[in-house]
Amino acid sequence: MSKGQRKGAVSRKTTETEISVEIDLDGTGKYDIKTGIGFLDHMLEQLSRHSLIDISIKAKGDLHIDFHHTTEDVGIALGECVTQALGSRAGITRYGSALAPMDEALTQVALDASNRPYLVWKVNFVRDKLGEMDTELFKEWFQAFAQGAGLTLHVECFYGDNNHHIVEAAFKALARALRQAVEIDPRKEGEVPSTKGVLGGSL
């Protein structure tokens, strides 16, 4: 799929959530995000702005129970949208990595848009809650996103004292790494970046 055509739209409806997502991988970082979870919206806005991926998300979920289902399902739907927009993944750079500092926190993300989902999560929080949101839910979001988007995704926070800064550094590093990985490589446009000729499946 050539640059300028790499768009995706996914709708996901369960007994727990109803979600619609649209993206443009070759956008400018415009966003319209309403999940019902203010802090998650803020992080996804950071993801859009720093990856230059246009993202629209509308989500309704069983927030009267907790934030788990909505957080996870938004990750799944957004990831599936990325997979749809990437198509065969021909021509992409495939790999990306970034270090993101946020005041006292420093986080690194390295990823392979390999269509082989895997998450390595080395992030420790200093408290169980960030506002009303359980900090353990951020791992659930990254896991769901990696699964949906077909990413081998490594996230490591080297240090940090403030939960907000730790999480924001992770999303910003993801954004910059993802921006690198999905860019079209002008020297390999149209070619799948694998000696197998296809991404996904066994190593």
The CA distance from 62 to 117, in Å, is 27
pLDDT > 70? residue 189 = no
Band (145; pLDDT cuts 50, 70, 90): very high
Per the structure, the count of domains in the chain is: 1
Residue 98 lies in a domain: yes
Q: State mean pLDDT over 92-103.
A: 97
pLDDT at 195: 47
| pLDDT value of residue 196 | 54
| Helix, strand or coil, per DSSP, at residue 183 | coil
Model confidence over 99-134: pLDDT tens digits?
999 999 999 999 999 999 999 999 999 999 998 899
Averaged pLDDT for residues 149-164: 97
Name the percent of the chain lying above pLDDT 90. Answer: 85
Mean pLDDT of the chain: 92
Whether 152 maps to a domain, the answer reads: yes
Residue 95 lies inside a defined structural domain of this protein: yes
Residue 177 forms part of a structural domain = yes
Lowest-pLDDT choice from 23-37, 75-89, 166-180, 181-195: 181-195
pLDDT of 197 over the 80 cut = no
Q: Is residue 200 part of a domain?
A: no
Structure confidence at residue 163 as a pLDDT band (50, 70, 90): very high
pLDDT at 172 over 50: yes
Q: How many CB atoms lie within 10 A of CB 55?
A: 23
Q: Tell me which residue has tokens 């790999």.
A: 95
Residue 187 lies in a domain: no
Q: Is 50 exceeded by the pLDDT of residue 203?
A: no
Q: Which residues contact 107 (CB under 8 A, 6 or more apart)?
A: 99, 100, 123, 155, 156, 157, 158, 160, 166, 169, 170, 172, 173
Residue 44 lies in a domain: yes
25 touches 15 (CB < 8 A):
no
Q: What pLDDT does residue 186 have?
A: 84
The domain of 33 spans 7-182
Q: Could you report the per-residue pLDDT of 35-84, keeping only the tens digit for each?
A: 999 999 999 999 999 999 999 999 999 999 999 999 999 999 999 999 99
- Assign residue 27 the CATH number of its domain: 3.30.230.40
CB 70 within 8 A of CB 63: yes
Tell me what pLDDT residue 185 has. 86
Asked if residue 190 belongs to a domain, the reply is: no
